[in-house]
Structure 1
């Protein structure tokens, strides 16, 4: 029996070995690899078309230098989306509910965009800390505020993804528990609660895909400022 609603977010273990690594490797096995045939099947055709449309939409605001990140952004988006969706299945674990994993993805990528900006155009990158036309008395305070906002970006990336998935899973757990308890005493109310759970599950499927897209979109915006 579940002792706490938050036990579902703890990493499962087998013989003392955390299974989070296995949960992270599973999404890569679900995508079919391209074949050497001239004509692909429907699954590969749909997968290729969707990846091309996503990459085109994501990289359209970026210049030619930013197109080097296409493979990284597309792979990471598919990786996050698949892990989020797999976490909605029964008896599964969502690695992206762990803040350590999300920060491990957000901090290096954010730092890479900042270092690229400092290397290629240091004046423009440092200019973001002080907008043009700032009054002289506000310059020290504004520099501090902009520096804090710059360093809080990776924290916002990781916390946003973790909080949205954690809140959705916790709400589904609460509604499912209420439906199970009310089934014996109030079947009609339990049925309405189950219908609400179904609608919430559909919403969580959309949230799982949207949050993966938002994570990559914000990274592309950070990259756009520094190239």
Structure 2
């Protein structure tokens, strides 16, 4: 039973080709490119409005040096949001349930923010490891703690996204299995579990959007700290 539950998170193959690549490319095929027209269609207008609103909200507290990240973080937000929502459809695969993929996105962006901090403001970046006014006996301990907290940030980014999406998918599968199992033996209980399944699906849609936003928000906070 456990193997059957977790088999949904294994990357499927078609003719020896892992479909995780197809699932990762599909969001970019669904997002339209801006057209060279005076009046864009509704989809492009919504996409443009979302990009402007998201960029204004995320980058308003960040200095001018961090505004260069607007395009890449907005694109990453659209990618995560689309791929998380597509993973809720039946017979689909969610690449963001793979810890390796999430760490592959979190580590390079986190490392880039750290390197930018050491290049632009090395004194302030090194000052994070040792707060001002620290007693002398606590200096080695605080340096070790701050170093661990710095290197654990990409792990927290990847594990948070993976754990939330994995838990939601497991709950949906468990409740849907219970709904089918109780359909003939106890229709009343089955209808109640079906209502619970609908509510959980709505919650999982919200979780998919919130986790994509939290991933980008934490990256913007790291960027704000180093610019």
Provide TM-score, normalisation by structure 1.
0.98
Pairwise CA RMSD of aligned residues?
A: 1.2
CA deviations over 1:19-50 (Å, ceiling 9, x no partner): 10010000001112211111112221121111
CA deviations over 1:163-210 (Å, ceiling 9, x no partner): 000000001000000111011100010000000000000000010011
2:196 aligned with 1:196 = yes
Deviating 4+ runs (over 4 angstroms): none
Matches within 5 A, 1:63-78: 63-78=63-78
Tell me, in whole angstroms, the C-alpha distance in 1 between the residues paired with 2:18 and 2:2.
Answer: 19
Specify every segment of 5 or more residues in structure 1 that has no aligned partner in the other structure, as ranges.
none
Tell me, in whole angstroms, the C-alpha distance in 2 between the residues paired with 1:206 and 1:213.
Answer: 11
Matches within 5 A, 1:10-89: 10-89=10-89
Number of residue pairs matched by the alignment = 227
Provide TM-score, normalisation by structure 2.
0.98
Matches within 5 A, 1:33-182: 33-182=33-182
CA deviations over 1:71-128 (Å, ceiling 9, x no partner): 0000000001101000000000000000000000000000000011111111100100
1:65–1:181 CA distance, 2 compared to 1 (3 A):
same
1:118–1:134 CA distance, 2 compared to 1 (3 A):
same
Alpha-carbon shift at residue 2 of structure 1 (Å)? 9.4
Which residue is 2:218 aligned to?
A: 218
Alpha-carbon shift at residue 3 of structure 1 (Å)? 5.3
